Structure 1
Amino acid sequence: MNISYEAYPSVLRDYFFYIRTIKGRSQRTVDGYAIDLRGFCRFLLKQRGLFSDCEFSEIPIDSVTVDLLKTVTLSDAYEYLHFVSDSCDNLPKTRARKVSALKSFFHYLSEKSHLIDYNPLTELEVPAVKKSLPKYLTLEQCYALLSNIDGEFRERDYCITTLLLNCGMRLSELVSIDCADIHENTLKLLGKGNKERIVYLNDACLSAIEAYLPVRAKLAANGKDKNALFLNRRGTRIGARRVEQIIEAQLAKAGLAQYGFSVHKLRHTAATIMYQYGHVDIRILQEILGHANLGTTQIYTHISDDQMEKAVKSTPLSNLQPPSPASKKTSDENADDEENK
């Protein structure tokens, strides 16, 4: 995202600084909140009769003041959500993110900076999000993905994919890895909220890193970044969007482009494989994935079809057979005899 924060009013810039430095949110999260709050500010200005002749996407928000924000009501928030639902066809998940941005911002205004007397959005409800089983690659698809990696930076791209499929790390965690974070068979990751955790590297990961390091040395020789593990052709730290493009291209080469897989789906794949084939305890999986809440991890531990089939077959009632036709007939005839007596 290319966001010009200079175009934002000071009250918003202060909020972004707060969630980035004090709350430890990632820059991607800050950028996402910035886009959502920009939309709300434009809606607010238009609703109050300002910039009525201006295209919505062109409305400047640098004129938003604390006094204007003090006039916001719960109804304004719901009208905004209705507006984005009709005009932008936002999905419930997207609207839920917008609600989170609004609630966080007004909590900051009322409870942290004390710029407003009370929080008008305390009762703002998050739209219901349909829960469905996330997509993940099968073992065969994982093999196909890894076996079709080629190109100028094959060793680097293979190493990236191997770490994603084996360690279950987030994209932001992958691109922030430094060489110094690797110590023997462990890797230190910096997760959400600047929380560090240690994950173990299996043989596949160690071999992929070993094969990539000579390539990295050549890239680093012409660049300025001496710390980052994964470098681009300019010798600087590889970006998140570039990794997404690499994975997208690899999926296409492996004939998997039509399934809607992504970098995040590789994280889910790693968790699913560890849970199903490694019989990993859910709390251990929680630590590996870096989840603050166990409930979040449960999304990654859906039961496989084989497990469901095994569960149904294992019940003590699974071997019972219906009575034979002869037995049923005899039983009915006995009942008729009793009635005729």
Structure 2
Amino acid sequence: MKLPKYLRDFLIYLTTITGKSPRTRKEYEYDLILFLRFIKAIEQDLDMKNIHKIDISDVTIDSIKELALEDLYLFMEYCEVQRGNSAASRARKVATLKSFFKYLKGKRRLLEENPAEHLETPKIGKRQPVYLNFQEAQQFIGAVDYQHHSSRDYCMMVFFLNLGIRVSELCSLNLHSINDRMLTVIGKGDKERQVYLNDACLTALENYLLERKPYKGEGPEPLFVSQKGTRFARQTIAKIVKQINQNSVTPKEKLTPHKLRHTSATMMYKAGADIRSLQAILGHSSVATTQIYTHIEDEQIQEVLKNNPFNSL
């Protein structure tokens, strides 16, 4: 698909200047292609049912200059009503539009006015993290024995549960990421952090490295290598987690690598980790993100109040 030059330039700006990941760039690209198709469909009275077929290569910057805040509201209404987008999905689109128009006006000087400047973000209800309790986590990790490549899969699951790393971070680990008991993790926005490898991680790692398959690709040697000798993709790791979960004594509904990250964070918080330490371990840029795990404290407080001797009065 041929994109307008100003859109191509913006996407390049995202990765080269702001340091956005390729995945984030694809999300921005998807949102903006949909937005430009919507704008063209409105202008030319095209059928919205065929919006995915609309060519946007001829959407000029002059068309963008004509847009007002009301046009953005109309697009957000379309996303909510016609496409059934959740508040979280619409919030991402708002962030995309704000970033896009800020670039066109502030960086490129292609616009005199920024129609997205006062575009509000939909309110997103706070969602509690879904996680395994300690017994469920033990049963899950015990089910790794049923895997064909159990030492490798066991090591990956131990890393998830002990280090709380993201699946994308696990996939990007290289052999040289390990230095004695320290692991260098590349997080969102290419931010680097050091994570301590505890005894469980070291033992699992030593056992895996004895059986690790040779890497058949190019570039840095990945730590975790697939059966074909390639670097793992996020989707493949998700399938492995699903297989292990299915073999568990008590499978958890829709278990994902991200829920294993939640499990790790929740267990560390329960064990006494302070919020700042947890923020550093998880690689959160804002402590507000880490604070979703403080819901455990509320549960514990409720339990204390229930067990208060005066509760029997």
The answer to whether the Cα contact below 8 Å between 2:91 and 2:121 also exists between their aligned partners in 1 is: yes
Structure 2 counterpart of 1:70, from 54, 61, 65: 65
The answer for the alignment partner of 1:195 in structure 2 is: 191
Report the Cα distance in structure 2 between the residues aligned to 1:25 and 1:32, rounded to whole angstroms. Answer: 11
Q: Which moved more, 1:6-15 or 1:253-262?
A: 253-262
The answer for the alignment partner of 1:166 in structure 2 is: 162
Structure 2 counterpart of 1:178, from 174, 181, 185: 174
Measured after TM superposition, the shift of residue 125 of structure 1 is 0.5
Structure 2 counterpart of 1:294, from 287, 296, 307: 287
What TM-score comes out, normalization by structure 2 length? 0.93
Structure 2 counterpart of 1:89, from 67, 84, 88: 84
The answer to whether the Cα contact below 8 Å between 1:225 and 1:236 also exists between their aligned partners in 2 is: no
Identity of aligned residues (%): 39
Task: Report whether the alignment pairs 1:272 with 2:266.
Answer: yes
The answer to whether the Cα contact below 8 Å between 1:225 and 1:237 also exists between their aligned partners in 2 is: no
Task: Report whether the alignment pairs 1:211 with 2:211.
Answer: no
The answer for the alignment partner of 2:310 in structure 1 is: 319
Report the Cα distance in structure 2 between the residues aligned to 1:265 and 1:320, rounded to whole angstroms. Answer: 35
The answer for the alignment partner of 1:30 in structure 2 is: 25
For 2:123, the aligned partner's letter is A
Q: Which moved more, 1:12-21 or 1:54-63?
A: 54-63
Q: Which moved more, 1:43-52 or 1:165-174?
A: 43-52
The answer to whether the Cα contact below 8 Å between 1:155 and 1:211 also exists between their aligned partners in 2 is: yes
Task: Report whether the alignment pairs 1:303 with 2:299.
Answer: no
For 1:253, the aligned partner's letter is N
Structure 1 counterpart of 2:105, from 85, 104, 110: 110
The answer for the alignment partner of 2:224 in structure 1 is: 230
Report the Cα distance in structure 2 between the residues aligned to 1:49 and 1:16, rounded to whole angstroms. Answer: 26
Provide closer, same or farther for how the CA distance between residues 95 and 85 of structure 1 changes in structure 2, counting only shifts above 3 A: same
Measured after TM superposition, the shift of residue 234 of structure 1 is 2.6
Number of positions where the alignment pairs a residue of Structure 1 with one of Structure 2 = 312
Report the Cα distance in structure 2 between the residues aligned to 1:63 and 1:297, rounded to whole angstroms. Answer: 44
Q: Deviations over 1:261-283 (max 9, x none)?
A: 21111111111000102x01111
The answer to whether the Cα contact below 8 Å between 2:155 and 2:205 also exists between their aligned partners in 1 is: yes
For 2:257, the aligned partner's letter is V
Report the Cα distance in structure 2 between the residues aligned to 1:8 and 1:230, rounded to whole angstroms. Answer: 36
The answer for the alignment partner of 1:154 in structure 2 is: 150
Provide closer, same or farther for how the CA distance between residues 120 and 307 of structure 1 changes in structure 2, counting only shifts above 3 A: same
Segments of structure 1 that go 5 or more residues without pairing to the other structure are 1-5, 323-341
Segments of structure 2 that go 5 or more residues without pairing to the other structure are none
Structure 1's consecutive aligned runs of 4 or more residues displaced over 3 angstroms after TM superposition are: 50-54, 222-226, 255-258
The answer for the alignment partner of 2:234 in structure 1 is: 240
Q: Which moved more, 1:74-83 or 1:243-252?
A: 243-252
